[in-house]
Chain A
């Protein structure tokens, strides 16, 4: 079924019928994923079966009820929203606040003057309606409803409500050091800081599993900080649906020599914050995330790693003792 138009933000959204997590009935399809222990359920009309990117496939899970439930519908057009603009990403999405809910519009002038996709989501990031604009998709084309950055945005916002955070980082665990309780390494860095390079260097020299070379989700469990792989990999294309405890956290920087220095307190929180994905426009979630960053810094040792992009950087980390 194709609905005429997507809600424009000033009308009541009927969440109940299509959003509630249930076993798929005849004529409906359902898919569910778990990323950083945030579960994401997507359901819609089986006449428009979607496809998902190969990157997200390893994150599929069999859950019937998820943390976030997204119901997906085709519409003939998407009008301009009437609710006030809360945030303009400067890329393909804008955020509008409609009452207590959020509306994300995805658009590109190359495609259409209308948004090609609209996500209407409740304030808790539990229930969402996703509208795809039929006029922006050529007849017979495949559709990936979770197409980046929607998947990452939804998970990032939910994390802000669950004491979690997504960081710009490479994470790996060294199987040969795991029993000694020092095998989990998190390398945080801006673009170009050496996350993919570091991942490759460790992969070539050690028995490691690389959770991601670009995006890692951090969660706290039983008093320890864990890192989770995500589908949103970097240049080296490492993405594993696994997790590991973190033993050391490094802020990466290229330098003419290898050097490790400890970071403490507000300096460490600031460095971490500068490399995190935060909901700047959402006060309570931002406050909760900042408190979580502080907890991370208090729980695991943080260092700055200035490094040369060769095997000596791996040795420097392995030989480092405070």
Chain B
């Protein structure tokens, strides 16, 4: 029989359910936007590989 208090794994504290507000930015959650001119990528004005594309980003 399991002895109380002998469990080597520490029990997590109970966290009662609660509502909290988290600010989401869907447009930033996905990789691919060339958001700064210093970054690499086809949306970058300095990109030497491809012509400027429509991926301007945030």
Which A residues fall within an 8 A CB radius of B? Answer: 53, 55-56, 89-93, 108-111, 116, 136-137, 141-144, 147-149, 152-153, 156, 168, 190-191, 232-235, 237, 264-267, 270-271, 273-274, 276-278, 280
Contact = CB atoms under 8 A, between A and B. Distances in A.
A235 B38 contact: yes
A156 B57 CA distance: 19
Interface of B: 15, 18, 20, 22-25, 27-36, 38-43, 47-55, 57-58
A93 B32 contact: yes
A264 B20 CA distance: 11
A108 B53 CA distance: 6
B45 to A, nearest CB: 13
Nearest to B33: A91
Given A53-B40, A111-B51, A168 B28 contact: yes
B31 A147 contact: no
A2 B58 CA distance: 36
B31 A149 contact: yes
A191 B55 CA distance: 17
A144 B49 contact: yes
A92 to B, nearest CB: 5
Contacts of A142: 48-49
Contacts of B43: 92
B15 A92 contact: no
8 contacts: A92-B53, A108-B54, A108-B55, A111-B51, A111-B53, A270-B20, A274-B24, A278-B29
Contacts of B52: 110
Nearest to B35: A191
B39 A233 contact: yes
Contact of B49 (A137, A266, A274): A137
B20 to A, nearest CB: 5
Given A90-B30, A147-B41, A235-B38, A265 B15 contact: yes
B32 A92 contact: yes
A234 B57 CA distance: 14
A37 to B, nearest CB: 19
B42 A89 contact: no
A97 to B, nearest CB: 17
B34 A148 contact: yes
A233 B36 CA distance: 9
B28 A110 contact: no
A139 B20 CA distance: 55
B36 A234 contact: yes
Given A149-B31, A232-B39, A116 B50 contact: yes
A253 B47 CA distance: 32
Contact of A233 (B38, B48, B50, B54): B38
A277 B31 contact: yes
Given A111-B42, A270-B20, 19 more contacts: A55-B39, A56-B40, A90-B27, A91-B30, A92-B32, A92-B41, A108-B53, A110-B51, A148-B34, A152-B31, A190-B28, A191-B25, A264-B15, A266-B15, A266-B18, A267-B20, A270-B22, A274-B22, A274-B24
A111 B20 CA distance: 44
A149 B35 CA distance: 11
7 smallest CB-CB distances across A and B, nearest first, come from: A108-B53, A91-B32, A148-B41, A270-B22, A53-B40, A148-B40, A149-B32
